[in-house]
Amino acid sequence: MASGELFDKSETLALRGKLIGPTCRLFFPHDPIKMVRARGQYMYNEAGEKYLDCINNVAHVGHCHPHVVSAASKQMETINTNSRFLHDNLVAYARRLAETLPPSLSVFYFVNSGSEANDLAVQLARRYTGNYDVMVMDNAYHGNTALLMDISPYKFKRAGSSGKRDWVHVVPAPSTYRKIFQEDNIDLGKAYADEVKKQLGDLKASEKIIAAFVAESLQSCGGQVIPPEGYFQRVIEHVHNAGGVFIADEVQVGFGRVGSSFWAFQLQHGFVPDMVTMGKPMGNGYPLACVVTTTAIASTSSIEYFNTYGGNPVSCAVGLAVLDVLEKEQLMENAKIVGAHLATRLRQLQSRHPIIGDIRGKGLFIGVELVLDRNTKEPATAEAQRVIFRLKDELVLLSVDGPACNVLKFKPPMCFTKADADLVTTKLERILTDIEDVGKNGTLDSGIESGMKQKDVSLPGTQAFTDEPLKV
C-alpha cells in the first residue's frame, strides 16, 4: 500500500459504503479515485499516478502550500481559542480583507463554511429589513443548511426535494448564451434587471417585500453564468427601492480567481453590494468563511452571534497566509494570463468543434457549454459526461455542471500554468474528435466505452453521477 494508506482501495470503498451517508456522493462513483497526496495543481492516487487538477477551487493557492501549512502549524502550537478572547490574528485578518473591499464593506463575521456565511447573511438581512422573503437566480446554489437548500433552485427543483417555498422568489439567470429575450441587440444587463424589477413590483402588489436578493457574483453550479455588464448595478437599485438588501455570494469565485479584480462582483463596474459572503478558497482547505457588511446592517441586531471556531487564531493565521501567497506569487496576475491563454485555446477548439456551443468566464473560472446543435442549443449532456470520463482516464480532473449537466467547468488552483492549459486542451481536442467521429458513425455505445472503463457501463453510479453534477 502507498504511504499514508491504511486499507486497500477495495476495503476503503467497502467501509465507505457501510459508514458514510449515501447522499455524500463520490466523484466518479462507478470507479472513484483514491487520493493519497497532493501538491500545487497535482493530486496523486494510491498507485502514484499524477492527476492534473482543473477543478479544486478550494486548494486556491495550490494543494498543501508550505507557507499556509506552516502558518497553521505554528499557530496550532501556540493558541487556538474562540473569539470571546481578544487575539491579534482576528483583527489583522479583518483589516487585511478590508483593504480588498470597497470602504462601505467594513464589518466582518467569521464562520466555518460558505454555507454558514450565506445562512448568517440572510439572517442579518432579515433582521435589518424586518422582511422575510428572499429572491434568488434560477439554478443558483447557496449552500447546505435548511435555509440555503430552500433558496437554492439547484437543489429544490430536484426530484425528492420539498419544492419551492412561498417566501422564495426566483428570477431568470442572466445568461447571455441562453437568453430569455427574443430581440437581438438589446441591452441584456438592463433587460434582465427589468425582470427583477417586474417581479419585485408583482410582490409589492401582493404585499410581499424581500429581505434580500442573493446572487453568486458569477453563477457556478448553475452553469458558469457570467452576468451581462450593468445587471447588478441596476438590480441593486431595484432591490433597495423594494426595501431589500443585495448579498453577493463570492464563496466559489472570490479571492482573485477572475484575475482582473480581487472580487468577482467588481467585474460589474462601480457595483457595491450590501453584503459579501466568502468561503471555499479563503482557507485553502482549512474551514474558514466570512460575511462582510456595512455598519448600518451590522448594528441592527442585538442577538448575540457566537461561532465556536469562527475567527479563531488558527483560521485567521491560515487566511493571512493565503493572502500572502496570492500576493507574493502574483496569482491574480497568473489567473489573468493563464485564464486568457486557456480561453484562447478553448476558442481555437470551438472553431473546429461544433459541439462547443459557448465559452464563457473570467480568469481561471471558465465554462465550456457542449451542445448537439448550435442553433437549437440542445444540451450535449451524455457527451459532456464522456469528456470528463475520458479525461479522468487520461489523469485530468474536470467536472460538468449546469441545469443540463453539459457545461465543462474549469476552476483549477490558481497556480495553474499555460503548460497545464495546453495539456488539457490538447487532450480535450482529441476526445472531442473521437466523440464527433462516433456521432458520425452512429456508434454511440462504443463511444461510451471509449470514455469509460468497460466495467463501469452497467453500474448505477453513473446514473447518480449524471443526476447530481459535481461541485468540487
Strand-pairing partners, residue 43, are 38, 51
Q: In which element (H, E) is residue 426 found?
A: helix 418-441
Residues 381-384: contacts with CB under 8 Å, at least 24 apart: 381/405, 381/406, 381/466, 382/444, 382/448, 383/355, 383/435, 384/408
Residue of 101, 167, 309, 444 that binds a copy of itself (CB under 8 A)? 309
Strand order in the sheet with 399-401: 356-362, 365-370, 407-410, 399-401
What is the bridge-based pairing of β-strands 275-278 and 245-249?
parallel
* Complex with a copy of itself: residue 55 or 431, whichever CB lies closer: 55
- Contact between 391 and a copy of itself per CB under 8 A: no
Give the Cα separation of 61 and 416 in Å (integer): 9
Size of the site for a copy of itself (CB under 8 A): 109
Q: Between 16 and 178, whose beta carbon lies closer to a copy of itself?
A: 16
Residues 151-190 that bind a copy of itself (CB under 8 A): 155, 158-162
Q: Which residues pair with 42 in a beta bridge?
A: 39, 52
463 scored as a contact of a copy of itself (CB under 8 A) = no
Q: Nearest approach, Cβ of 438 to a copy of itself (angstroms)? A: 28
| Torsion angle of C-alpha atoms 251, 470, 26, 418, degrees rounded to 10 | -80
Residue range at the interface with a copy of itself (CB under 8 A); choices 110-118, 225-233, 343-351, 372-380? 110-118
Residue pair 12/36 in contact by the 8 Å Cβ criterion: no
Q: What angle do CA 72, 292, 97 make, to 5 degrees?
A: 50
Cβ 204 vs Cβ 150: under 8 Å: no
* For a copy of itself, the closer CB: 109 or 410: 109
We find the least distance from the C-beta atom of residue 307 to a copy of itself, in angstroms, to be 6
- Residue 418 C-beta-side C-alpha neighbours within 13 Å: 7
455 binds a copy of itself (CB under 8 A): no
Q: Which is nearer to a copy of itself, 299 or 344 (CB)?
A: 299
Q: Whose grid coordinates read 500572502?
A: 324
Nearer to a copy of itself, 72 or 356 (CB): 72
Q: State the alpha helices, DSSP H only, in 283-330.
A: 295-298, 313-328
| Burial degree of 160 (CB within 10 A; 0-12, 13-18, 19+) | exposed
What is the distance between the alpha carbons of residues 430 and 450, in angstroms, rounded to a whole number?
Answer: 12
Contacts to a copy of itself from residues 39-68, by CB under 8 A: 43, 56, 58-59, 63-64, 66
408 phi, psi to nearest 5 deg: -75, 130
Contact call for residue 100 and a copy of itself (CB under 8 A): no
Pick from 67, 98, 102, 444: which binds a copy of itself (CB under 8 A)? 98
Looking at 119-127, 177-185, 259-267, 374-382, which segment touches a copy of itself (CB under 8 A)? 119-127
Alpha-carbon Rg for the chain, nearest whole angstrom, is 22
**Given 50, 85, 201, 422, the residue binding a copy of itself (CB under 8 A):** 85
- Any idea what DSSP says for residue 403? T
Stretch that binds a copy of itself, among 169-177, 283-291, 374-382, 417-425 (CB under 8 A): 283-291
Of 48, 91, 374, 446, which one interacts with a copy of itself (CB under 8 A)?
Answer: 91
Q: Which of 301, 348, 441, 443: binder of a copy of itself (CB under 8 A)? A: 301
Per CB under 8 A, 448 contacts a copy of itself: no
Residue 344 C-beta: closest distance to a copy of itself, Å: 29
Binding a copy of itself (rule: CB under 8 A), the pick from 186, 202, 305, 344 is 305
**Smallest distance, Å, CB 212 to a copy of itself?**
12
Q: Is 338 near a copy of itself (CB under 8 A)?
A: no
Residue of 48, 49, 50, 95 interacting with a copy of itself (CB under 8 A): 95
CA distance 173 to 265: 15
HSE-CB of 250 using CA atoms within 13 angstroms: 28
State the binding string over 20-39 for a copy of itself (x if CB under 8 A, else -): xxxxxxxx----xxxxxxx-
From the list 48, 49, 198, 299, which residue makes contact with a copy of itself (rule: CB under 8 A)?
299
| Residue whose CB is less far from a copy of itself, 98 or 395 | 98
Residues 6+ apart with CB under 8 A from 186: none
103 binds a copy of itself (CB under 8 A): no
Residues β-bridged to residue 370: 356
Under the criterion CB under 8 A, does residue 210 sit at the interface with a copy of itself? no
Nearer Cβ to a copy of itself (298/340): 298
Least distance from a copy of itself to the Cβ atom of residue 353, Å: 28
142 sits near a copy of itself (criterion: CB under 8 A): no
Does 211 contact a copy of itself by CB under 8 A?
Answer: no
Q: Does 266 bind a copy of itself (CB under 8 A)?
A: no
Nearer to a copy of itself, 77 or 184 (CB): 77
Task: Determine, following the binding rule CB under 8 A, whether residue 350 of this chain makes contact with a copy of itself.
Answer: no
Kindly state the smallest distance separating residue 286's Cβ from a copy of itself, in Å.
Answer: 8
The values of phi and psi at residue 362, to 5°, are -140, 135
Q: Per CB under 8 A, does 419 bind a copy of itself?
A: no
Q: Is the dihedral of CA 351, 356, 358, 364 positive or negative?
A: negative
Would the CA dihedral through 424, 430, 433, 434 be positive or negative?
A: negative
